[in-house]
Amino acid sequence: MKNNTDHVRSKRKTLTTREYIRKIGVKYLLLFLMLPAFFLFLLYMNYTMIYRLISENINYKANATLLEYCVTLDDYLGPALNILESMSYNLEDKLKTMESNSEIRKYLVRETSTLDESQSLITTGIYGYINGEYLDGSLWQPEEGYIPTERPWYIDAKERDGDITYVSPYTDSQTGDRIMTISRLLSDKKSVIAVDIKMNELQTITESLVPSGDDASEVIIIDEDGTVVTHSRKTEAGKNYLETEVEPYKTIIRKLLKEGLSEFNVSRDGANAVVYSRELEGGWYVLSVTNESRMFARIFDAVRNSFIAGFIGTLVILQVMYIITKKTIESEDYDISLSSVSSIYLLMYRIDLKNDTFEEINCNLLTVADMVGDKRSDAAKLIKNVLTLRSDERTREDILEFVDLSTLEERLSNINTITCEFMNPDKIWNRARFIVAERDEKGNLESVLFMVELIDEEKKARERLQYLSETDRMTGINNRGSGENKIRKQLLTGDGGMFLLLDVDKFKSINDNYGHGVGDKVIIAVADCMKKAFRNNDIIMRLGGDEFAAFAPLVLSREGGEIIIDRFLNQVGRISIPELLGRKVEVSIGVSFYQPEDQFTFDELYKQADECTYKSKEIKGSVATYYSRE
Residue 407 lies inside a defined structural domain of this protein: yes
> Which residue type does 521 have?
K
Greater pLDDT, 434 or 455? 434
Neighbours of 215 (CB within 10 A): 10
Angle formed at CA 623 by CA 620 and CA 628, multiple of 5 degrees: 125
The model's pTM is 0.38
Please tell me whether residues 87 and 136 are part of one structural domain. yes
Per-residue pLDDT of 44-74, as tens digits, reads 676 677 666 666 666 777 677 777 777 777 7
pLDDT at 571: 94
Same domain, residue pair 134 and 175: yes
Helix, strand or coil, per DSSP, at residue 628: coil
The gap from C-alpha 509 to its chain's centroid, in whole angstroms, comes to 40
The three-state (H, E, C) secondary structure of 588-600, written as one string: EEEEEEECCCCCC
Residue 168 in contact with residue 176, Cβ under 8 Å?
Answer: no
Residue 117 scores a pLDDT above 60: no
**Model confidence band, residue 557 (pLDDT cutoffs 50, 70, 90):** very high
Residue 465 lies in a domain: no
Q: Domain for residue 3, yes or no?
A: no
Question: What pLDDT is recorded for position 338?
Answer: 38
The domain in which residue 18 lies consists of 11-339
Helix 516-533 × helix 507-514 angle, to 10°? 140
Residues 228 and 92 in one domain: yes
* Residue that terminates a domain, selected from 339, 371, 386: 339
CA distance 10 to 330: 13
- Please indicate, yes or no, if residue 378 is contained in any of the structural domains: yes
CATH number at 405 reads 3.30.450.20
Mean pLDDT of 183-205: 85
408 assigned to some structural domain? yes
The reply to whether 251 and 213 lie within a common domain is yes
Query: Is residue 304 in a domain?
Result: yes
Q: Mean pLDDT, to the nearest integer, of 428-447?
A: 90
| 445, 484: one domain | no
pLDDT interval class at 417 (50, 70, 90): very high
Decide if pLDDT at 423 tops 90. no
pLDDT of residue 302: 61
Q: Which pLDDT score, from 0 to 100, does residue 307 have?
A: 64
Q: Are 368 and 390 in contact (CB under 8 A)?
A: yes
Q: Are residues 107 and 225 in the same domain?
A: yes
Domain termination site, one of 421, 437, 459: 459
Report d(CA 356, CA 200) in Å as an integer.
60
Q: Which position has the higher pLDDT, 171 or 31?
A: 171
> 109-115 — which CB contacts under 8 Å span 24+ positions?
109/137, 109/138, 109/139, 111/87, 111/137, 112/137, 112/138, 113/137, 114/480, 114/543, 114/544, 114/545, 115/83
Q: Do 235 and 99 fall within a single domain?
A: yes
Residue 104: inside a domain, yes or no? Answer: yes
* 561, part of any domain: yes
CB of 347 closer than 8 Å to CB of 359: no
For residues 429-433, average pLDDT: 90
Name the least confident of 75-89, 149-163, 360-374, 567-581: 360-374
Is residue 353 pLDDT above 60, yes or no?
A: yes
Residue 27: what pLDDT?
Answer: 57
Residues 153 and 178 both lie in one domain? yes
Q: Is 331 in the same domain as 478?
A: no
> Which range among 33-42, 144-153, 358-367, 517-526 shows the weakest confidence by mean pLDDT?
33-42
pLDDT in tens, 333-348: 444 443 443 456 778 8
Cβ contact 282:166 at 8 Å = yes
Mean model confidence pLDDT for the chain: 81
**Among 84-88, 156-160, 361-365, 598-602, the least confident range:** 361-365
- Per residue in 377-403, pLDDT tens? 888 888 888 888 888 888 899 989 998
- What is the average pLDDT across 394-420? 90
Does one domain contain both 276 and 396? Answer: no
Q: Residue 526: phi, psi to the nearest 5?
A: -65, -40
User: Please, which residues have CB within 8 angstroms of residue 61's CB and are 6 or more apart in sequence?
Assistant: 288, 290
Q: Which residue has the higher pLDDT, 366 or 349?
A: 349
Residues 213 and 290 in one domain: yes
Residue 4 has a pLDDT of 39
Lowest mean pLDDT, pick from 251-265, 331-345, 448-462, 597-611: 331-345
pLDDT at 137: 83
Mark which of 459, 486, 513 sits at the end of a domain: 459
* Tens of pLDDT, residues 576-630: 999 998 899 999 999 999 999 999 999 999 999 999 999 999 999 999 999 987 7
**Section 188-216 average pLDDT:** 80
Distance CA 500, CA 256 (A): 55
Number of domains in the chain: 3
CATH code where residue 546 lies:
3.30.70.270
Give 591 or 356, the one with higher predicted confidence. 591
Are residues 533 and 420 both part of a single domain?
no
